[in-house]
């Protein structure tokens, strides 16, 4: 996600499954519950500049645009097939929502464009530990100095039931190597390592394991 030469994982790991992504997420992850909670946490405002990292098929960015049509929102993703589906969802008259194909870097964004909020959902669990670290450091470096980072992803899987559900669904699809650090609760540690103050605001139980919501700010900036 941070290097244009790096491999990336399609939304459901395999390109041929991308058309089924929106349905799978809706059915298997209690999407309406965690996405509604995430949107409320993001609280998009008219003067926000919002960067959706790993925006996939664009569901989150489009929902935020509907709530705050004046906000300047960019979704970035290296997967052309996913972005094609995102573009197909967008009304041609919308000007404040853009989708860019590429990996996360300052060079991939408009010149001098500094996000006030960086968001990401169900991306980090699909990446290696090294890439998780790179993405979080890049988020920190790109963020406006008074900005916020909001993440929804599989976090610490507490108890045998959650670990079993996670193993039988997410890890069967995405493998163990990249997903296990999330299940062991590594994300807050990596966020702090990247220079962020992090709060795990909510955990939601789903048929595929628990999804955690995080809010992070540059270290030293007190959250309101």
pTM value is 0.89
Report how far residue 9's alpha carbon sits from residue 81's, in angstroms, rounded to the nearest whole number. Answer: 12
Residue 16 CA to residue 215 CA, distance in Å, equals 33
Q: What is the pLDDT of residues 57-66, one digit of tens each?
A: 999 999 999 9
Q: Tell whether 4 is covered by a domain.
A: no
Averaged confidence pLDDT in the chain? 89
- Triad 215, 112, 3: Cα angle to 5°: 65
Tokens for 161, please give them.
């039931």
Domain containing 19 equals 15-218
41 assigned to some structural domain? yes
* 223 occurs within a structural domain: no
Q: So what's the pLDDT on residue 15? A: 59
pLDDT for 171 beyond 60 = yes
In this predicted structure, what is the pLDDT of residue 4?
A: 41
Query: What CATH number is attached to the domain comprising 67?
Result: 3.40.50.150
Tell me whether residue 147 is in a domain.
Answer: yes
The pLDDT score that the predictor gives to residue 223 is: 47
Within a domain: residue 1? no
- Pick the range with the lowest mean pLDDT from 2-16, 62-76, 134-148: 2-16
Asked, for residue 5, whether it belongs to a domain, the answer is no
Is the pLDDT at 159 greater than 70, yes or no? yes
Q: How many independent structural domains does the chain possess? A: 1
HSE-CB at 97 with a 13 A cutoff on CA atoms is 25
pLDDT of residue 19: 60
* Residue 101, token pair as written in the block: 């194909």
- Asked whether residue 84 is domain-assigned, the answer is yes
* 118-134: pLDDT as tens digits: 999 999 999 999 999 99
Which residue in 211, 212, 154, 219 sits closest to 193, CA to CA? Answer: 219
Q: What confidence tens digit (pLDDT) does each residue in 94-127 have?
A: 778 999 999 999 889 999 999 999 999 999 999 9
- Asked whether residue 70 is assigned to any structural domain, the reply reads yes
Burial label, 11 (beta-carbon count in 10 A; 0-12, 13-18, 19+): buried
């Amino acid at each position: 996600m941070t290097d244009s030469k790096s491999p990336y994982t399609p939304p459901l790991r395999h390109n041929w499954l991308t058309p089924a992504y929106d349905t799978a997420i809706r059915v298997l992850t209690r999407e309406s519950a965690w996405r509604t909670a995430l949107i409320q946490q993001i609280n998009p405002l008219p003067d926000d500049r919002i960067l959706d990292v790993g925006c996939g098929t664009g569901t989150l960015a489009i929902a935020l645009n509907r709530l705050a049509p004046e906000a300047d929102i960019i979704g970035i993703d290296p997967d052309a097939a996913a972005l094609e589906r995102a573009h197909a969802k967008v009304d041609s008259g919308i000007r404040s929502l853009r989708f860019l194909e590429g990996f996360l870097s300052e060079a991939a964004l408009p010149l001098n464009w500094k996000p006030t909020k960086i968001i990401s959902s169900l991306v980090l669990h699909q990446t290696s530990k090294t890439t998780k670290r790179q993405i979080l450091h890049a988020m920190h470096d790109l963020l406006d100095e008074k900005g916020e980072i909001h993440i929804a992803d599989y976090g610490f899987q507490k108890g045998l039931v959650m670990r079993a559900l996670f193993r039988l669904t997410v890890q069967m699809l995405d493998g163990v190597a990249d997903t296990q650090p999330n299940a062991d609760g590594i994300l807050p540690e990596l966020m702090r390592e990247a220079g962020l103050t992090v709060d795990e605001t909510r955990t939601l139980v789903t048929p595929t394991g628990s999804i955690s919501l995080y809010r992070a700010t540059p270290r030293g900036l007190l959250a309101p």
